Structure 1
Amino acid sequence: MPFFDGSRGRMHYRRWPAPEHRAALVLLPGIGQHTGHYHRFAAPVRAAGIEMWALDTAGHGLSEGDPANPGTLAELVADALRLIELVRTELPRSPLLLMGHSLGAVTALGLLGAAVPDTASAADLSAVEANCPLTPSVEPTALAGLVLSGVPKRALGGGAPGALGTALPPTLPILAVHGVEDRRAPIDAIRDWTARHNWVSLIEYDEAGHDLLHEPVHARVSGDIVEWMREVAEPAGVAGSARR
């Protein structure tokens, strides 16, 4: 089984090879989930010629740690960056796609220095500076696209005038998917965020909640994500050509 030494112990990751692939996807799950929950999603991803890698967050799946305390955002970002480095070593010429669900989406934005809450006071600003990576660990130009699913409000303060962190560039293709009935991460926050980032594609799913890939609507969500990833990865190369 594949492991690496992470911020809080040995971290497990899973790989779904796609021999004739057009891109590589790094998936970061949310709290309470692990890579074993994503075999169903991996099937259409691989069928589209995209190789998928996913990380067990600290304390989840086969990764060491406390499931009730997966780590600080800086630690989560460091672990995700290590997986991305492994993918780049193994598939150096493949266009790289990044996807995160819930806490994984917060981590994905954190990798780009953009996971910051709304701030209303100097005390808030100090807390953001202490707890949130404000500069990119991964440059946006290194990514072919970013997919965000069920992003909590606490990571969606970026893009407002004077906001801390690193602004996401309009040149980075971004897809956000969100359930209209999401009670864990109400949809209003992502609607406000995409209004500030008007190049982002937002797909809303009626009668769907927080965990879109494990709800009755999962097949439609998977299809929408895979179609979008194929489109953004296509300009980087010829479809169906192997990249190693």
Structure 2
Amino acid sequence: MPESSPRSRTPPGERVASLGHFVNADGQRLSCRYWEPEGPPRALLFVAHGMGEHCGRYGALAHSLTQHGIMVFAHDHVGHGRSEGERMAVRDFQVFVRDSLQHVDLAKGRSPHLPLFLLGHSMGGAICILCACERPGAFAGVVLISPMVRMNPESATPFKVFVARLLNHVLPSLTLGSVESRWISRDKKEVELYDTDELNHHGGLSVALGMQLMGAVQRIAREIPTVSWPFLLLHGDADKLCDIRGSQMMLERAPSADKHMKVYGGAYHALHRDLPETVDSVQRDISEWIVQRIPKQPSGS
């Protein structure tokens, strides 16, 4: 990446991850982060960040998981953070899925004996769902934090969908409303960090990307009845950015024999960056769920 690329600030007390990059199928360099445990890793976890942010915002959560022997890795999606690509634009949502599976393959190639988990937040949750649906036997479990499983009713009325489709043909780059950062977290310090982070996108959402998100949600609805892999859903009941009813629908309709959901009372969208007591609970709930699903090593191995 060019030297002029903005650099994120590391919050006090957060462990700095090693950085790197890989080149996707379109020849774009995607910026990566890796958080490694002190001893030999017991499992791998890929993190897919949400729309408009970057993977550096998952450092505290990743560090909490390394304490349990889990190696965490992530990248900035194309058009996000330090990665190349037009900002907040993608020709097809599948590009996010394709790039994530490529990164997963790279990590798995280096540690083929380790179980592999996925974790996605918001739009990243949709990415992880579709990754796991493409390879239903490849992952030991999927953790979904406030996932984008359905569009908010107020943004997906029949009239608004009709207008969006019309605009997508004539003005696909037209930007609509931006994310209201006050709904990211109940912690005002976290909202300030979000607003001042130069690697976050603070502009509007293009019509074209909005249509891609809508298409991804429709695809997820078709895939849910086939979901057989283990998953953990975490959602705040005061989330105004991703409809909790999407998570409830997934829990009810997915035929998986290993499915769980926890609702955090009063919590906003970014549970892993909400009030300290919620953050502690989320880190504990995720680590316990993953550790319980790491295959036991034979004695003497």
Query: Would you say 1:231 and 2:251 are equivalent positions?
Result: no
Distance 1:151 1:164, change over 3 A: closer
Matching residue of 2:246: 189
What is the distance in 2 between the residues matched to 1:70 and 1:57?
10
Tell me the amino acid that sits aligned with residue 34 of structure 2.
R
Aligned pair partner of 2:262 in 186, 189, 203 = 203
Aligned length: 212
What is the distance in 2 between the residues matched to 1:228 and 1:13?
25
Identity of matched residues, % = 28
What is the distance in 1 between the residues matched to 2:236 and 2:58?
18
Aligned pair partner of 1:140 in 131, 136, 140 = 136
Distance 1:237 1:30, change over 3 A: same
Tell me the amino acid that sits aligned with residue 178 of structure 1.
H
Distance 1:81 1:180, change over 3 A: same
Matching residue of 1:45: 65
Q: CA RMSD in A?
A: 2.4
Distance 1:165 1:211, change over 3 A: closer
Distance 1:240 1:83, change over 3 A: farther
Q: Is the 8 A contact 1:21 1:240 kept in 2?
A: no
Tell me the amino acid that sits aligned with residue 210 of structure 1.
H
Aligned pair partner of 1:3 in 8, 16, 21 = 21
What is the distance in 2 between the residues matched to 1:21 and 1:92?
12
Query: Would you say 1:177 and 2:234 are equivalent positions?
Result: yes
Structure 1: tracts of 5 or more residues without a match: 114-135
Q: Is the 8 A contact 2:35 2:71 kept in 1?
A: yes
What is the distance in 2 between the residues matched to 1:60 and 1:195?
33
What is the CA distance between 1:68 and its match in structure 2?
2.2
Aligned pair partner of 1:79 in 96, 99, 109 = 99
Structure 1 residue runs of 4+, over 4 Å off? 154-160, 239-242
Query: Would you say 1:28 and 2:48 are equivalent positions?
Result: yes
What is the distance in 1 between the residues matched to 2:119 and 2:299?
21
Q: Is the 8 A contact 1:58 1:71 kept in 2?
A: no
Matching residue of 1:125: none
Matching residue of 1:126: none
Matching residue of 1:118: none
What is the CA distance between 1:206 and its match in structure 2?
0.7
Aligned pair partner of 1:149 in 145, 149, 160 = 145
Q: Is the 8 A contact 2:226 2:254 kept in 1?
A: no
Residue-by-residue CA offset, 1:3-55 (whole Å, 9 max, x unaligned): 11125521111111123221110110001221211111112100011110011
Residue-by-residue CA offset, 1:46-86 (whole Å, 9 max, x unaligned): 00111100111112221112332145221011110111011
What is the distance in 2 between the residues matched to 1:20 and 1:240?
16
What is the distance in 2 between the residues matched to 1:97 and 1:85?
12
Distance 1:183 1:241, change over 3 A: farther
Question: In the TM superposition, what are the counterparts of 1:82-161 in structure 2 within 5 Å?
Answer: 82-113=102-133, 136=134, 139-152=135-148, 153-154=150-151
Tell me the amino acid that sits aligned with residue 6 of structure 1.
N
Tell me the amino acid that sits aligned with residue 142 of structure 1.
A
Q: Is the 8 A contact 2:225 2:254 kept in 1?
A: no
Structure 2: tracts of 5 or more residues without a match: 1-18, 152-215
What is the distance in 2 between the residues matched to 1:159 and 1:16?
30
Matching residue of 1:215: 274
What is the distance in 2 between the residues matched to 1:86 and 1:241?
29
Residue-by-residue CA offset, 1:163-201 (whole Å, 9 max, x unaligned): 4687111xx211011111111112122112201126410
What is the distance in 2 between the residues matched to 1:29 and 1:241?
38
Max radius of gyration: which structure? 2
What is the CA distance between 1:157 and its match in structure 2?
5.9
